[in-house]
Every structure is written in structure tokens, then in C-alpha cells.
């Protein structure tokens, strides 16, 4: 029964996360810790393992659709490690609860911006392979800024870096949500896979009775998500992304209040 519940929850989380271009770790970890009593370290390792499979799976699905901006995706990974080091340093200076609260407020503001944005994002200019391969100086600077900032956020809070990447790509670069989501999962596929390897090398183990159903559900959800994304228009996707941001923001804010 436990395995079935985990499989269904993982399927739901991965489906929604892959639609909007997030990994789902911000939901997987508290689900395992609070809902199933898993130790935090094991929950993080299990979550990373699941996200590694789901992001690779979603990347393959989006690659078939031709939606990934590979150059931006690679740039989004370049400064993650230095950013994470800065984030860990800041976490030792400022209370993690305070940082989580401030990040939650930031996400609420971004969510409002996404909801209030009335004009549809132009998808055609970014949807062709030629235009996606063309990088401007502004896009490079914004991608590197997003990479550093998402690393800082991940280092401070342990999750949430993908929300920064999405925000910069959509509001800063003017990317359609579909392209931003596909590029985001591609970038996360690279970093999550590397993180899983490092966790195993460090001796951090996963609990197979939790990991197996989560991975199976995640693989199924990460294939369904891109298919649903293809059928949704930009307006609907932007609102779904804003709703997910609100859920993440509320979780971050509740950390401060509990």
C-alpha cells in the first residue's frame, strides 16, 4: 500500500513539475520526511535519484518536440557550484528560516507578475531550431546570472534553484513557457545526475522501498507532462507555473512560521 501511494504521488508531482520545467525536489523531500518519516539525508538522496531519472526522461520527451535551447541550458549550469558555495556560506550567517521566508515572498511576487502578464508570449521566434541556437549578449549574461543565483538559492535552502532559472528565462529573456520548461529540465538533468553520483560516492544511501515506486511514478509522469504541455497554450502554462510557484512560496514561508 505504501508503494502504491508513493507511486501515485510521484506520478502527480512529476507530471506537474515536468509541465512547468521543475524537478519536484521541493515537494519530494518534505513528502518523504513529513509524510513517511524518512531521515532527511536519505530523503534528499532519494529525491535526487528520482529527479535524475525524471529530468532525463522529460528531457528526451522535450528533445523530440525540438523545444530545448541547449546553449542556454548549459549556461544555466556553469555557475551552479560557485553559487552553491556562496549559498552555503550565507546560510551559516543568516537564519535558514529567514532565508526561506524571504525567498517565499520573492516567489509570491513573481507569481503575481506571471498572473498579471496579459499578453501572450510570442512562441514562434523561439520555437525554431535556428532561432534557439542564436544567443545574444543579453541572453548569455542573464543565463549566467540565473546560474549563479540558482546555485546560491540551492546552497541556502537545499532546493528552489529551478524557480530562479524559470523566472529569468520567462520574464528576463522573454522565452515562451514551453521552451523555458524544456530548457530548465535539460539543465537539471545534468546537475541532478552529477549530484546523485556525488551522493553515492559520499556514502549517502537511498531506501529502495521508497525510491523504486518514486522513480517508476516519476518516469511515467515525466513522459506525460511534456505531452500535456504540447497541448496547452502559453497562457494556461504560465498560470500553472504561477500556481506551482505559489505552492513553493507557501511552503517556504510556513518554514518560518512553524
DSSP character at residue 202: T
- Residues 210-254: pLDDT tens digits? 888 888 999 999 999 999 998 888 888 888 888 888 888 887 777
Distance (Å, rounded) from C-alpha 234 to C-alpha 178?
A: 7
Q: What is the DSSP letter of 94?
A: S
C-alpha cell of 123?
Answer: 512562441
Closest CA to 50 of 2, 97, 11: 11
**Closest-CA residue to 160 (of 104, 226, 239, 86):** 104
CA–CA distance, 17 with 245 (Å, rounded to integer): 11
CA 221 to chain centre: 15
Query: pLDDT above 70 covers what percent of the chain?
Result: 83
List CB contacts of 98: < 8 A, sequence separation 6 or more.
256
Q: What is the per-residue pLDDT across 2-11, written as a single tens digit (0 to 9) for each? A: 778 889 999 9
Flag whether the pTM goes above 0.85.
no
Amino acid at each position: 500500500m505504501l508503494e502504491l501511494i508513493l507511486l501515485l504521488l510521484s506520478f502527480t508531482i512529476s507530471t506537474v513539475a515536468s509541465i512547468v520545467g521543475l524537478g519536484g525536489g521541493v515537494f519530494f523531500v518534505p513528502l518523504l520526511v513529513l509524510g513517511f518519516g524518512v531521515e532527511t539525508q536519505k530523503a534528499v538522496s532519494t529525491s535526487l535519484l528520482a529527479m535524475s531519472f525524471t529530468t532525463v526522461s522529460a528531457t528526451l520527451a522535450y528533445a523530440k518536440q525540438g523545444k530545448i535551447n541547449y546553449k542556454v541550458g548549459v549556461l544555466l549550469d556553469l555557475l551552479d557550484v560557485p553559487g552553491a558555495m556562496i549559498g552555503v556560506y550565507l546560510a551559516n550567517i543568516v537564519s535558514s528560516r529567514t532565508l526561506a521566508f524571504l525567498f517565499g515572498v520573492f516567489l509570491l511576487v513573481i507569481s503575481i507578475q506571471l498572473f498579471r502578464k496579459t499578453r501572450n508570449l510570442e512562441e514562434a521566434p523561439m520555437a525554431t531550431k535556428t532561432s534557439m541556437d542564436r544567443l545574444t549578449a543579453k541572453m548569455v549574461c542573464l543565463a549566467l546570472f540565473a546560474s549563479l543565483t540558482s546555485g546560491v538559492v540551492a546552497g541556502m535552502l537545499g532546493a528552489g534553484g529551478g524557480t530562479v532559472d524559470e523566472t529569468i528565462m520567462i520574464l528576463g529573456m522573454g522565452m515562451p513557457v514551453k521552451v523555458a520548461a524544456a530548457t530548465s529540465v535539460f539543465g537539471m538533468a545534468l546537475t541532478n545526475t552529477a549530484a546523485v553520483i556525488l551522493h553515492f560516492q559520499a556514502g549517502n544511501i537511498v531506501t529502495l522501498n521508497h525510491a523504486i515506486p518514486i522513480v517508476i511514478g516519476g518516469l511515467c509522469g515525466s513522459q506525460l507532462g511534456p505531452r500535456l504541455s504540447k497541448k496547452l497554450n502559453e497562457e494556461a502554462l504560465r498560470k500553472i507555473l504561477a500556481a506551482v510557484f505559489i505552492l513553493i512560496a507557501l511552503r517556504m514561508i510556513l518554514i518560518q512560521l512553524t
